[in-house]
Structure 1
Amino acid sequence: MTSENAAITGDLRTKIISEPELILEDRDLMRALIAANEKVMGGNIVDLRGIAMERLESRLERLEETHRHVIAAAYENLAGTNMIHRAVLKMLDPAEFEEFLANLNNEIAEILRVDALRLVLESAVANDDPAARDLGDVLLVVEPGFIGEYLTQGRNVPVRQVTLRQVQPDSDLIYGDRADWVRSEACLKLDLGPGRLPGMLVFGAEDPHQFKPSQGTDLLTFFAGVFERAMRRWLS
Structure 2
Amino acid sequence: MSEQKPLSGGSRLTDDLRDELLSRPELVLADKDVMRALVGAHERSLGGNVIDLRGTAMKRLEGRLDQLEATHRSVIAAAYENLAGTNLIHRAVLEVLEPTDFGEFLRRLETRVAETLRLDSLRLVLEARGRDPVVERHSGLIHVVEPGFIGEYLNELTEYRAPVTLRGVIDGAGEVHGREEGHIRSEAVLALDLGAGRLPGMLVMGSAEEEQFAPRQGTDLLRFFGAVFSLTLRRWLA
Q: Normalising by structure 2, what TM-score?
A: 0.91
Would you say 1:63 and 2:65 are equivalent positions? no
**Residues 121 and 157 from structure 1, CA distance in 2 versus in 1: closer, same or farther, beyond 3 angstroms?**
closer
Q: In the TM superposition, what is the alpha-carbon distance from 1:13 to its structure 2 partner?
A: 2.8
Whole-angstrom distance in 1 between the partners of 2:159 and 2:59? 51
Whole-angstrom distance in 2 between the partners of 1:147 and 1:12? 76
Partner of 1:189: 191
Pick aligned residue for 2:151 from 121, 136, 148: 148
Q: In the TM superposition, what is the alpha-carbon distance from 1:17 to its structure 2 partner?
A: 2.2
The residue type paired with residue 176 of structure 1 is G
Q: In the TM superposition, what is the alpha-carbon distance from 1:167 to its structure 2 partner?
A: 1.5
Q: In the TM superposition, what is the alpha-carbon distance from 1:10 to its structure 2 partner?
A: 4.8
Query: What SS does the aligned partner of 2:50 have?
Result: coil
Identity %: 55
Aligned length: 232
Partner of 2:6: 5
Partner of 2:218: 216
Q: In the TM superposition, what is the alpha-carbon distance from 1:16 to its structure 2 partner?
A: 1.6
Partner of 1:117: 122
The residue type paired with residue 69 of structure 2 is E
**Residues 61 and 157 from structure 1, CA distance in 2 versus in 1: closer, same or farther, beyond 3 angstroms?**
farther
The residue type paired with residue 232 of structure 1 is R
Whole-angstrom distance in 2 between the partners of 1:235 and 1:130? 10
Alignment of 1:155-194 (within 5 A): 158-170=160-172, 172-194=174-196
- Structure 1 unaligned blocks of 5 or more: none
**Residues 4 and 146 from structure 1, CA distance in 2 versus in 1: closer, same or farther, beyond 3 angstroms?**
closer
Whole-angstrom distance in 2 between the partners of 1:4 and 1:216? 62
Deviations 1:169-216 (A, max 9, x none): 445211111111100000001000001100000000000000000000
The residue type paired with residue 5 of structure 1 is P
Partner of 1:98: 103
The Cα RMSD (Å) is 2.1
**Residues 46 and 130 from structure 1, CA distance in 2 versus in 1: closer, same or farther, beyond 3 angstroms?**
same
Whole-angstrom distance in 2 between the partners of 1:57 and 1:74? 26
